[in-house]
Amino acid sequence: MPDFSDGFRELVKVIRTAIIGGTGYTGAELLRLLVAHPDVEIVAVSSRSEAGKPLTGAFPNLKGYLDLDFSDPSDLLSAKPDLVFFATPHGVAQASMKEIASTGARVIDLSADFRIKDQQLWEEVYSQPHQSPEFIADAVYGLPEVNRSAIAGSNLVACPGCYPTSVQLAMIPLIEKGLIDPASIVAYSGSGVSGAGRNAKVPYLLTEASENFQAYGTAGHRHEPEIVQGLRAVQAETDTPAEVLFLPHLVPMIRGIHSTVVADLKDKSADIQSVFEARYVDEPFVEVLPLGSQPQTRYVRGTNLCQLAVHVRGDRVVVLSVEDNLTKGASGQAVQCMNIMYGLDEKTGLNMPAMLPG
C-alpha cells in the first residue's frame, strides 16, 4: 500500500495548465499523465485542425477523464493558464513565446525550439531562422538529473529530445568523472515508430514498418548536436570536447528507446558500476541495474523510468540505456519538470509500474 501522505497537498495551488498542439503523440501522452495528476487542472488544449471538436474524438481513451473541446490556438490564453506545454513541431513555440511570457504563464516546451544554446547552430540544424532568440539564454534544458535547481526556478524549460535523454543519462557519469575519451563515443539507438509522430506517411504504415529493421539518419541526425551540447555542459573545462557519433535505428514496435553507447575507457581499473550507482542514487527516475544486466524497453514502457546497465569489454565501456520515448523521452519528463517547478514531489502522477505483458 503506497503511502499517500496528503498533509501538504491542500497548500499547493492547483496548476492551471494548457497544452498547445495536443493531437500528436507527445500531446496524447501528456494528457494521459495530466488527467491523473492530482495537482493539475487542464484548462485548454489547442489544435488548429480540431478546434471546437471534443478531445475524445482524437483520444477515445480519455473519455470519462477529460470533458473538453479543442480550442483554437489563438483562444488558448483566454483560459488563463499558469503553465503552457508546447507539444508541437519545432518552430511553433518560438513564434508564441513573447505573447505567452507577457501573461506571466510559465512554459514547458517539448519541442526542439529552445534546446540548443548556440542560435546559429540551431538555425543550421533546423534550417530556419530562430524567431525568439531573446529567450534562448534563459531557457533551462529540462534534464532534471543535471539541471534540477535551475528547472525549479525557470519560466521556460526546454525538454530534451527522446534520444538525447537516453544517451546523455548513459554517458553523464563517465563524462563528469573524466573516465572516458570524450571524443570516442558511439551511440547506437533504436526507437519505436511513435518517435516519428502521428503523421500519415507510407514508411510508417504497419505494412512497411513491421517485420523490418533499418538505420536512418546515418548521415547525421538532429539530435546529435543536442547530445554533444549536453555532454560538453558537464565536462571538466580542461577535458577534450565530447564528440558523439549518433546512429539511430527504427524498431518495429510502438514505444521504447534502447541505446547502446560505447566509449574508450581512460582507466580500465575504475569501478564504473559504483560511479553509476553513486551518480544516480537519489534520482527517482534513473535506475542502475546490476553490472552486466540487459535492460529491456518493455519493463519501462509507459513509465518515466530510465534503466541503465554497464558492461566493460576490454578497453571499452558499453552502457545500455532504456526508456519510453514518449514518457521519460518526452511527456513524462515534462511532467517531472513541472513537479520540480511547482515544488511537488517529483514522482507525483508518474508513480506507476509498467504493464507485463504489454
> So which residues are the catalytic ones?
162
Q: Which residues fall within 8 angstroms of residue 233, CB to CB, at 6 or more apart?
A: 141, 146
Among 52, 104, 290, 358, which residue interacts with a copy of itself (rule: CB under 8 A)? 358
The interface with a copy of itself within residues 266-305 (CB under 8 A) comprises: 287, 292, 294-299, 301-303
Tell me if 40 sits within 8 A of 14, measured CB to CB: yes
Whole-number Cα distances in Å, 9 to 3, 5, 341, 343: 13, 8, 15, 11
Site for a copy of itself in 86-125 (CB under 8 A): none
Cα–Cα–Cα angle for 250, 251, 252, nearest 5°? 120
Measured between alpha carbons, how far is 167 from 86 in angstroms, rounded to an integer?
Answer: 23
From its phi and psi, is residue 137 left (phi > 0), alpha (psi between -120 and 50) or beta? Answer: alpha
**Grid cell listed for 352:** 506507476
Q: Which of residues 318-347 bind a copy of itself (CB under 8 A)?
A: 318, 320, 322, 326
- Which residue type sits at 208? E
Binder among 120, 218, 240, 274 for a copy of itself (CB under 8 A): 218
Tell which positions 155-214 bind a copy of itself, by CB under 8 A: 186, 188, 190, 192-194, 198, 200-202, 204-214
Of the candidates 122, 223, 108, which has an alpha carbon nearest to the alpha carbon of residue 231? 223
Cell of 338: 513541472
Q: Which is nearer to a copy of itself, 177 or 316 (CB)?
A: 316
Binding range to a copy of itself, per CB under 8 A, among 108-116, 128-136, 146-154, 247-255? 247-255
CB of 330 to a copy of itself, least distance (A): 12
Among 18, 25, 163, 242, binds a copy of itself (CB under 8 A): 25
* Residue 236 makes contact with a copy of itself by CB under 8 A: no
Asked whether 140 and 156 are in contact (CB, 8 A), the reply is yes
Cα(90)–Cα(135) distance, integer angstroms = 15
Whose Cβ is closer to a copy of itself: residue 275's or residue 289's?
Answer: 289
Taking the complex as a whole, how short is the minimal distance between the CB of residue 288 and a copy of itself, in angstroms?
A: 12
Which one among 253, 266, 275, 277 touches a copy of itself, defined by CB under 8 A? 253
Q: Which stretch binds a copy of itself (CB under 8 A): 132-140, 143-151, 246-254, 272-280?
A: 246-254
Tell me the pairing of strands 257-264 and 316-323.
Answer: antiparallel
By CB under 8 A, tell whether 354 contacts a copy of itself: yes
